[in-house]
Structure formats: C-alpha cells, structure tokens
Amino acid sequence: MSPLTRRRLGRAALNTAGVAVFLFAVFPVYWMVATAFKPNDQIFTTSFIPFPSPPSLDHVERVFTRGVAGHSIWQYLVNSTLVALSAVVLGAVFALLAATAVARFRFRFRTSFLILLLIVQMVPAEALLIPLFTMVKRLGLYDQLLGLIVINVGLTLPFSVWMLRTFVAAVPKELEEAAWIDGAGRFTTFWRVLFPLVAPGLVATSIFAFITTWNEFVYALTLIGDQGKYTMPVALQFFVGQRSTDWGGIMAASTLMTIPVLVFFLLVQRRMVSGLVAGAVKG
C-alpha cells in the first residue's frame, strides 16, 4: 500500500469517526425537538417515526397555556436566567481576581492553594450537599434564589480560577510594567492591559459556568422549597407522574429550555473558540 493511499484511508477513517461522533451527539437533540411536535399516537407507537407527520403544536401550546405545577413556564425560565447570569457575572469577577493574584503574586501557601483547587474539583458536588444545605440554612438563605446563586458560584469557581490562571500567566509582565512607566495605576493597568488580553479565556470559563448552572438540578431542588422559585431543570420533574409520564410535555419544555443556551452560545461563540484554542496553546 502506497503512502498516499494510507493517508487517504487515514483521512477517511477520521472523517467517518467525526461524522459518527457528530451524529451520536446531535441525535438526542433532534429526537427531543421532533418528539415535542409529535402527536401522542406517534410518540407511543412502536414504529420508528423520524419526523412528526403532521407536526402538532399541542404539547408546546399546553406548556405555554397551562404552565407547570400551577406556575407559568416563563416564571421558571426567569428564575433559571436570573440564577445563571448572576452566577456567571459574580463567578467571572471572583475568578479573574483570584487568577490574577495566583499568577502575578508570590505568597505563602500559593502552591497549596492551587493543589486545593484541584482537590475540590475531584469531590462530587453531591458529597457537599448536606454541609452546604446546613450552611445555607444557618445563613437564612434557604428558599432564596440568592442562596442558590452563591452555591453555584462556589461550585464553578475552582475550574474558572484554574483555567484563567493560564491566561493571566501568559500575558507578558513587560506590558504591565510599560503601563506603569507611562503613569498608569494598578487598576488602570488591570482594566486596560490585562483584562482585554484574558477576555477570551473569561468568555470560555463563563460559558462553562453558565451551562453548569443552567442545568444544575440537585441543589436547586434541595435549597428551594417554594415551587414558584424552582428553576427549569426542577420544573421538568412535574411532567413525570406516578403512573405515567408526559413525554410530549417534557420534550416541549426541554426544547424551550435549550433556546437560551443556544442564544448565549451564538453571542459569544467567536470569543469562546479563540479562548479555548489560546488556552490549549498556552497551557
């Protein structure tokens, strides 16, 4: 077999594997959207029906008009959006400041702090449920969206700090020193020199924090008692009954739940790609 033939076969194998992975990842999303527009008889049939024929808006209309558990679906979306965006903004601020401190300053237990970040990432979030619930209860934040925001910031902060540290460390110190020579203060240097250069990494970590917070279920269910304050992942459980499951309603609500994530991703996709590529190269 000639080298050219081997290269062509290798490329064909890679392309085939890429297409297979793509289909494996996309098919559940496609099936969710298709099921949301299928009548009940097509959902529960034993035959494979790839497309709704004809499409039905019954499930979507029911989710919008009847709501979930006596509350409008928009209320759950607002709760999820408020929690996710607040956690992203607060987490980005704290993560950038912490990453700058770790990357730029030498202090005692600096290495221990970095190791602790990795250890925290290894601990399952469910293992911290009871102590965090006790802490939230004592602080008077139980059944408050603020308590859920604080917990989500804490859960996503270690990864964000560790990732942003790479971006901050990659910025040459000479740029900051040149700004100081020109008379810029530390805050001006941080805002006008360092921040624009680490912005792609900040966007990448913010997307991770947004998706993690948006899909979080266990803490939202445990720390919130009022059904009107539930987030979308928790609201989906009401479609599952003791004797039956409203698959059409679940798929319609899940499709609606993915729209904000897609919009958020489309708005920042360019910076996300550049941030991930830069992080891979600099790391």
* DSSP 8-state class, residue 186: H
How far apart are the C-alpha atoms of 129 and 148, rounded to whole Å?
12
Find the helix or strand (DSSP H, E) in which 82 lies.
helix 73-104
Per-residue confidence (pLDDT) for residue 243, from 0 to 100 = 82
Where helices occur in the chain by DSSP H, the ranges are: 3-36, 40-43, 58-66, 73-104, 110-122, 129-138, 145-170, 173-181, 186-189, 195-215, 218-223, 232-235, 247-282
The pLDDT of residue 221 is 94
- Other Cβ atoms within 10 Å of 186 Cβ, number: 11
Closest CA to 206 of 272, 266, 258: 272
The pLDDT assigned to 282 comes to: 47
What confidence score (pLDDT) does residue 274 get? 56
pLDDT digits (tens, 9 = 90+) for 221-257: 999 999 999 999 999 999 988 888 888 999 999 999 9
**What contacts 24+ positions apart, CB below 8 Å, involve 22-26?**
none
- Rounded-to-integer distance, Cα 208 and Cα 159, Å: 9
- Collect the ranges in the chain with pLDDT lower than 50: 275, 279-283
The per-residue pLDDT for 271 is 62
Rounded CA-CA distance 221/234 in Å is 6
- Give the pLDDT of residue 132: 93
Instruction: Report pLDDT for 216.
Output: 94
- Domain definitions of the chain by residue range: 1-56, 69-282
Q: What is the pLDDT of residue 283?
A: 44
Q: How far is CA 148 from the centre of its chain?
A: 15
Q: What letter does residue 144 receive in the DSSP assignment?
A: -
Looking at residue 279, its pLDDT comes to 46
State the chain's mean pLDDT as an integer: 87
Instruction: Assign domain 69-282 to its CATH architecture.
Output: Orthogonal Bundle (1.10)
Residues 112, 104 contacting (CB under 8 angstroms): no
Q: Are 162 and 205 in contact (CB under 8 A)?
A: no
